[in-house]
Structure 1
Amino acid sequence: MNTSTTNEKETSQNRTYTVGGIAAILAIGRASAYKLATSGAFKTIRIGNMIRISRKSFEDWLKAEGLDDEME
């Protein structure tokens, strides 16, 4: 049994959001979330045609926008 694979998956999930994830957090549509993700407002990484958003960068952006209190 290889438990490191499970731990690695959990770690990567904790460090990034998907575009669908930020759409759900912000209660916006996927198209709007894609526009936001590609706007340069926060750090992203493209893997093939997938976009992953840095959790820290996104949460810092939420704070800067004054939206972090509304999300709790």
Structure 2
Amino acid sequence: MEAIETFERQETAAVAGAEKRCYTVEDLQIILGIARGTAYKLLERHEFRWFKIGSTYRISKKSFDEWLDSKL
């Protein structure tokens, strides 16, 4: 039992330490300090690359970061 718990903690730490390749709509809200509706408007305007998994949007980190850098 203890070995399983140790493995699960190590696995969780590895995932947490992995660099994100995608943002969520919530991530955009936090990064930009905008409302949820405004974040979805950016998606509708195709300001950066994104895709859907089921009903959840994932935004390309690289594409978003490049877009944001161009705005600064």
Q: Return the TM-score normalized by structure 2.
A: 0.73
Unaligned runs of 5+ in 1: 67-72
Q: In terms of Rg, which structure is larger? A: 2
Q: State the number of aligned residues.
A: 65
After superposing on structure 2, the runs of 4+ consecutive aligned residues of structure 1 that deviate more than 4 Å are 1-11
Unaligned runs of 5+ in 2: 1-6
1:55 aligns with 2:70: no
Name the structure where helix makes up a greater proportion of residues.
2
Amino acid at match of 1:27: G
Distance 1:32 1:10 in 2: 30
Residue aligning to 1:19: 25
Measured against aligned partners, the alpha-carbon deviations of 1:46-70 in whole angstroms (never above 9, x if no partner) come to 111100000010000001111xxxx
Amino acid at match of 1:35: K
Q: Return the TM-score normalized by structure 1.
A: 0.73
Name the % identity: 37
